[in-house]
A = this chain, B = another copy of it.
Amino acid sequence: MRNLHHPEREQLDLPAVLYALSDPTRLEIVRKLAGEGERACGTFGLPATKATLSHHFKVLREAGLIQTRVEGVHRYNSLRKPDLDARFPGLLKAILKATAPR
């Protein structure tokens, strides 16, 4: 099993986090993950190819926004809310509020 790289909490970098969030599809992934615990990669119902989604999950993971757990051939993602809230208080909340369906 491949080990995926996840930055430590203290390594999280604000510009990289904001860059990861600067894409509508990645914002939507974060919004969906915020509403629940863990979610398998194929279940987001987003209009993008598997390769494109893989890229988006990678950007989010490498910036420290999500945790990816590999189980057999499946990958399960969760939002690193405690880490994000500790490093950037109020940021995730403001972004989720701004992306809420109106």
Chain A residues at the B interface, C-beta cutoff of 8 Å:
14-16, 18-19, 21-24, 27, 87-91, 93-95, 97-99
Tell me the number of copies of this protein. 2
Q: A90: which of B16, B19, B23, B93 is its contact (CB, 8 Å)?
A: B93
Q: A22: which of B15, B93, B94, B99 is its contact (CB, 8 Å)?
A: B15
Given the interface pairs A16-B22, A22-B22, A27-B14, the reply to whether A89 lies near B99 with Cβ below 8 Å is no
Nearest B-chain residue to A98, judged by Cβ: B88
Q: A95: which of B14, B16, B87, B97 is its contact (CB, 8 Å)?
A: B14
Quick check: A94 and B97 within 8 Å, CB to CB?
no
- Chain B residues contacting A97 (CB-CB under 8 Å) are 88-90
